[in-house]
C-alpha cells in the first residue's frame, strides 16, 4: 500500500502523472485553478483502487511535485 502527495500549487496540468498511474488514481481537477493558472492534478479517494506505491507518477512529473510513501512494517518511507 502506498500514498502520494501532490503539490498542487506548482502543477502545470500536463497529465503525465495521470497517464502513468496503473491504478488510474490521479485526475486533473477541472474545478480548481492553481496560482499558475492551471487545473492541477489530484488523487482520487477510491478505497477500491489503493495506491501500490510504484512511484511511476513521481518519476514522470517534470517538476518533481509528487511524493510517494510506501507502508513498510508499520512505518512510512519516502521514495521520491
How far is residue 71 CA from its own chain's centroid? 16
CB distance 65 to 51 below 8 Å: no
18 in helix, strand or coil? helix
Contacts to ligand SF4 by CB under 6 A: 2, 4, 6, 11-17, 20-23, 25-26, 41, 51-57, 60-61, 63, 65-66, 68
Considering beta carbons, is residue 37 or 53 the nearer one to ligand SF4? 53
Q: How far is the CB of 26 from ligand SF4 (least distance, A)?
A: 6
Rounded distance, CA 77 to CA 41, Å?
A: 22
Q: How far is the CB of 32 from ligand SF4 (least distance, A)?
A: 12
Amino acid at each position: 500500500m502506498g500514498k502520494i502527495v501532490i503539490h498542487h500549487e506548482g502543477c502545470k496540468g500536463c497529465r503525465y502523472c495521470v497517464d502513468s498511474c496503473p491504478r488510474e488514481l490521479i485526475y486533473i481537477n477541472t474545478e480548481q485553478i492553481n496560482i499558475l493558472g492551471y487545473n492541477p492534478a489530484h488523487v482520487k479517494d477510491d478505497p477500491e483502487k489503493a495506491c501500490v506505491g510504484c512511484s511511476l507518477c513521481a518519476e514522470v512529473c517534470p517538476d518533481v511535485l509528487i511524493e510517494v510513501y510506501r507502508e513498510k512494517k508499520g512505518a512510512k518511507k519516502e521514495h521520491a
